[in-house]
Structure 1
Amino acid sequence: MERESMEFDVVIVGAGPAGLSAACRIMQLAQEKEQEITVCLVEKGSEVGAHILSGAVLEPRAMNELFPDWEAMGAPLNTKVSGDTFYLYTGATGAITLPHFLIPKPTHNDGNYIVSMGNVCRWLAEQAEGLGVEVYPGFAAAEILYNEDGSVKGIATGDMGIGMDGEHKDSYMPGMELHAKYTLFAEGCRGHLGKQLQEKFNLAEGKDPQHYGIGIKEIWEIDPAKHDEGRVEHGLGWPLSENGASGGGFVYHAENNQLYLGLITDLSYDNPYLSPFEEFQRWKHHPTVSQYLEGATRIAYGARAITKGGLNSLPKMHFPGGLLIGCDAGTLNSVKIKGNHTAMKSGMLAAEAVVEALGQESAPADLHSFAQKMEASWLHEELYTTRNFSGFMHKFGFLIGSALVWIDQTLFGGKLPFTVHDTKPDYAALKPAAGAKQIEYPKPDNKISFDRLSSVFLSNTNHEEDQPCHLTLKDPSVPLDVNLPKWSEPAQRYCPAGVYEIVEDDAGQRFQINAQNCVHCKTCDIKDPSQNIVWVTPEGFGGPNYPNM
Structure 2
Amino acid sequence: MSERESMPYDVVIVGAGPAGLTAAIRLKQLSNENGQELSVCVLEKGSEVGAHILSGAVIDPQGMDELFPDWRDTDCPLAQTPVTENYHWVLTKKGKVNLPHLWTPPFLHNKGTYTTSLANLCRWLAGKAEELGVEIFPGFAAAEILYHEDGRVKGVATGDMGVARDGTRKPDYQPGLELHAKYTFFSEGARGHLTKQVIRQFDLDRDSQPQTYGLGVKELWDIAPEKHVPGRVIHTQGFPLDEHTNGGGWIYHQANGQVSIGFVTWLNYSNPYVSPFHEMQTWKTHPAVAELLEGGKRVAYGARVINEGGLQAIPELVFPGGALIGCSAGFLNVPRIKGVHGAQKSAMMAAEAAFEAIRAGREGDTLYAYPQAFRASWLYKELSVARNVAPLVKKFGDFAGSGLSGVNMWFEHFGVRMPFTMKLKPDHTTLWRKDQVKPKVYPKPDGVLTFDRLSSVFLSNTNHEEDQPVHLQLKDPSRPIEYNLPLYDEPSRLYCPAGVYEVVGEEEGDPKYVINAQNCVHCKTCDIKDPTQNINWVVPEGGGGPNYPNM
| Corresponding letter in the other structure for 2:302 | G
Residue 383 (structure 1) shift: 1.2
Instruction: Name the structure 1 match of 2:284.
Output: 284
Question: Which moves more between the two structures, 413-422 or 340-349?
Answer: 413-422
3-state SS of 1:51 partner: coil
* Whole-angstrom CA distance in 2 between matches of 1:247 and 1:301: 19
Structure 1 position 389, deviation (Å): 1.4
Give 3-state SS (helix, strand or coil) of 1:434's partner.
Answer: helix
Question: Aligned residue for 2:330?
Answer: 330
How far off its partner does 1:107 sit?
A: 1.7
User: How far has the Cα of 1:404 moved from its partner?
Assistant: 1.2
Structure 1 counterpart SS, 2:384: helix
Q: Distance in 1 between matches of 2:296 and 2:248?
A: 23
Deviations 1:10-65 (A, max 9, x none): 00000000000000000001111111110000000000000000000011011011
Alignment partners' CA distance in 1, 2:416 and 2:446: 47
Mapped contact 2:385–2:412 kept (Cα < 8 A): no
**Is the 2:322–2:364 contact (alpha carbons within 8 Å) kept by the matching residues of 1?**
no
User: Is the 2:412–2:418 contact (alpha carbons within 8 Å) kept by the matching residues of 1?
Assistant: no
Alignment of structure 1 residues 444-483 onto 2, 5 Å: 444-483=445-484
Aligned to 1:408: 408
Deviation at 1:362, TM superposition (A): 3.4
Q: Is the 8 A contact 2:183 2:364 kept in 1?
A: no
Q: CA RMSD in A?
A: 1.1
Q: Verify the 8 A CA contact 1:395 1:422 in the aligned structure 2.
A: no
1:542 aligned residue: 544
Distance 2:184 2:74 in 1: 29
Indicate the residue corresponding to 1:385 in structure 2.
Answer: 385
Matches within 5 A, 1:29-44: 29-44=30-45
1:307 counterpart residue number: 307
What is the distance in 2 between the residues matched to 1:171 and 1:376? Answer: 51
The separation in 1 between residues aligned to 2:396 and 2:487, in whole angstroms, is 26
The C-alpha deviation readout for 1:234-285, integer Å capped at 9, x for no partner, is 0111101x26201010001111110100000000100001100000000001
- 1:471 and 1:400 mapped to 2: Cα distance? 38
Query: How much has 1:420 moved relative to structure 2?
Result: 3.4
Instruction: Indicate the SS of the match to 1:265.
Output: strand
- What corresponds to 1:22 in structure 2? 23
Aligned residues: percent identity? Answer: 56
User: Does residue 355 in structure 1 map to residue 350 in structure 2?
Assistant: no
Q: Residue 178 of structure 1 aligns with which residue?
A: 179
* CA-to-aligned-CA distance 1:68-123 (integer Å, 9 cap, x gap): 111222110110111111100122x1110100122232221111111100000000
TM-score, normalised with respect to structure 1: 0.98
Shift of 1:363: 2.9
Q: How far apart, CA to CA, are the structure 2 residues paired with 1:449 and 1:364?
A: 52
Q: 1:364 to 1:492 in 2, by over 3 A?
A: closer
For the 8 Å contact 1:243–1:271, the answer to whether it is kept is no
* Equivalent runs, 1:219-258 vs 2, <5 Å: 219-240=220-241, 242=242, 244-258=244-258
Match of 2:443 in 1: 442
The 2-side partners of 1:467 and 1:53 are apart by 25
The 8 Å contact of residues 153 and 320 in structure 2, kept in 1 or not, is answered as: yes
Report the counterpart of residue 48 of structure 1 in structure 2: 49
User: Distance in 2 between the 1:423 and 1:332 partners?
Assistant: 16
Equivalences for 1:122-133 in 2 at 5 Å? 122-133=123-134
The residue number in structure 2 matching 1:394 is 394
The alpha carbon displacement at 1:8 in A equals: 0.3
Gaps of 5+ in 1: none
Residue aligning to 1:372: 372
State the match for 2:521 in structure 1: 519
**What does residue 70 of structure 1 align with?**
71
Contact 2:183 2:363 in 1 (8 A): no
Q: Name which of structure 1's ranges 318-327 and 415-424 shifts more when overlaid on structure 2.
A: 415-424
Match for residue 86 of structure 2? 84
- Aligned position for 1:320: 320
User: Partners in 1 of 2:411 and 2:322 — Cα distance?
Assistant: 39
Letter in 1 for 2:162: G
Partner of residue 342, structure 1: 342
- Identify the residue that residue 9 of structure 2 maps to in structure 1: 8
Sort the Cα spacing of 1:269 and 1:395 in 2 relative to 1 into closer, same or farther, 3 A: same
List per-residue Cα deviations over 1:199-232 (Å, max 9, x = no partner).
1101001211101000000000011011111100
3-state secondary structure, aligned to 1:80: coil
State how far apart, in whole Å, the 2-side matches of 1:34 and 1:56 are.
Answer: 37
SS in 1 for 2:323: strand
TM-score under structure 2 length normalisation: 0.98
SS at match of 2:511: strand
**The 10-residue stretch of structure 1 (67-76 or 130-139) with the greater mean CA deviation from structure 2:** 67-76
| Secondary structure at the counterpart of residue 397 of structure 2 | helix
| CA drift at 1:364 | 5.2
Rounded to whole Å, the distance in 1 between the matches of 2:225 and 2:367 is 52
Matches of 1:232 and 1:344, distance apart in 2: 23
1:233 maps to amino acid:
I
Q: Please give the alpha-carbon distance, in whole angstroms, between the structure 2 residues aligned to 1:384 and 1:539.
A: 39
Q: How many Å separate the matches in 1 of 2:173 and 2:308? A: 39
User: Which residue type is aligned with residue 94 of structure 1?
Assistant: G
Amino acid at match of 1:289: V
Q: Confirm whether residue 296 of structure 1 aligns to residue 296 of structure 2.
A: yes
What is the rounded CA distance, in whole Å, between the counterparts of 1:339 and 1:415 in structure 2? 24
Question: 1:396: Cα distance to partner?
Answer: 1.4
Question: Does the CA-based 8 Å contact 1:392-1:420 persist in structure 2?
Answer: no
- How many residue pairs get aligned? The number is 547
Matched, 1:155 2:156: yes
Alignment check: 8 A CA contact 2:411 2:417 kept: no
